[in-house]
Structure 1
Amino acid sequence: MEPYKIKLLQTIVVIAVLLLVKLLLSKSIYKISTRFDFALRRVNITFRIINIILISFGTITLAAIWGLDQKELLLFISSTITVLGVAFFAQWSILSNVTSGLVLFFSHPLRIGDNIRIFDKDFEVEGRLQDISVFFMHIETKDGKNITMPNTLALQKIISIIPDEVILPVTHEEQRVHS
């Protein structure tokens, strides 16, 4: 078989495997997100991160298949990792917040719409969780202020999920209506 046909076959196999992995991961994330009622925005962010990882892996693999010299490929990968390492060391909070966002998505009991209290010795925050993005949690306080906090705080601080009736007590008028 001619060398380019072998490379073409290997390329097809790599693409098929990557698509299969993406399909399996997508189904798993979809099942988890529906089971735990995750917000669509959180699911989309997770899909983007998975796509970036799979595309990076696929690009490196295809570059190796199509004859990019292994020494050049290794030099490129190590240089890229070094630059990213320096950037993340300089801005370690970025990586920490992205990782925290994923941990919050998969295993933390916080949900969008929950009333929460974040205990901190200097600044205690109480309000309704409006959104969890890649880097930040968005909280609306009782007095209508919007507060943005890094995701890492959700993993570093004590957070209490408060039932709705504690935050929004029933007024006398509402009691008469329900009577």
Structure 2
Amino acid sequence: MFFEIYRTELITTGIIVLVLLIIRFLVHTLVRKIGRKSEINEARIKLINRYISATFLIIALLIEAFVFGAEFKEMAVIFSSVFAVIGIGLFAIWSILSNVTSGIIMFFSFPYKVGDKVKIHDKDFPIEAIIEDIRAFQLHLRCDNGDLVTYPNNLLLQKAVTLVEKDAIEGFIDDDSNSV
């Protein structure tokens, strides 16, 4: 009975899900290619792909609501209410969102990678260190004295950064592997 009543909607749903899965697969493949070409850490590639999957899920739910008969006015009321609540909550954590957004921007256009030694020109706290890890919220930088510094992604995009030595960590890793 259910399948007879909603046959058209279910067929449309199947087509939409199939199309979105194909597009998602193509976008994931493209992100992987960009990441590998830019020699980006596999964990960062997976993180960006998770963001993409979440975006496609939201798009699919929105499309499905219209397929099953939701009207624009109803959806507008729901989304305006949800976004108002989310907006109030996100205002309190705007710096976290700023760091995540910066992490996504850095994935596609950050000229440095893990292992590079960089100098961050910050007048209050200048840093010269090796990039140990690039995460969603911050970079892990290892200073020459062995200190681990976590530096927020959004601040890194606001400061001048100089490449001191490309793949500075490779020599360190090779020296350790030869000593064993």
Q: TM-score range by the shorter chain?
A: 0.7 to 0.9
Alignment of 1:57-136 (within 5 A): 57-68=59-70, 70-136=72-138
**CA contact 1:117–1:159 (8 Å) conserved in 2:** yes
Determine the C-alpha separation between the residues in 2 that align with 1:105 and 1:83.
Answer: 29
Aligned residues of 1:104 and 1:110 also touching (Cα < 8 A): no
Partner SS state of residue 67, structure 1: coil
Structure 2 length-normalised TM: 0.85
Change (3 A) 1:103 1:9: same
Distance 1:65 1:139, change over 3 A: same
Distance 2:27 2:167 in 1: 38
Q: What is aligned with 1:54? A: 56
Matched-pair identity in %: 35
The one-letter code matched in structure 2 to 1:43 is I
CA distance in 1, matches of 2:72, 2:158: 42
Q: Distance in 1 between matches of 2:156 and 2:17?
A: 38
Aligned to 1:143, the other structure's residue is in SS state: coil
Unaligned segments of structure 2, at least 5 residues: 172-180
Q: State the partner residue of 1:11.
A: 13
How far apart, CA to CA, are the structure 2 residues paired with 1:94 and 1:136?
10
Cα shift readout 1:78-106 (whole Å, capped 9, x = no counterpart): 11212222222232212211111011110
Q: Distance in 2 between matches of 1:158 and 1:59?
A: 41
> Tell me, what secondary structure is at the counterpart of 2:6?
helix
Q: Deviations over 1:90-124 (max 9, x none)?
A: 32212211111011110110101111111111111
Cα 1:17–1:159 change in 2 (3 A) is: same
> Contact 1:127 / 1:141 at 8 angstroms: preserved in 2?
yes
- Runs of 4 or more above 6 Å deviation: none
Query: 2:27 is matched by which residue type in structure 1?
Result: L
Change (3 A) 1:122 1:60: same
CA distance in 1, matches of 2:123, 2:60: 47
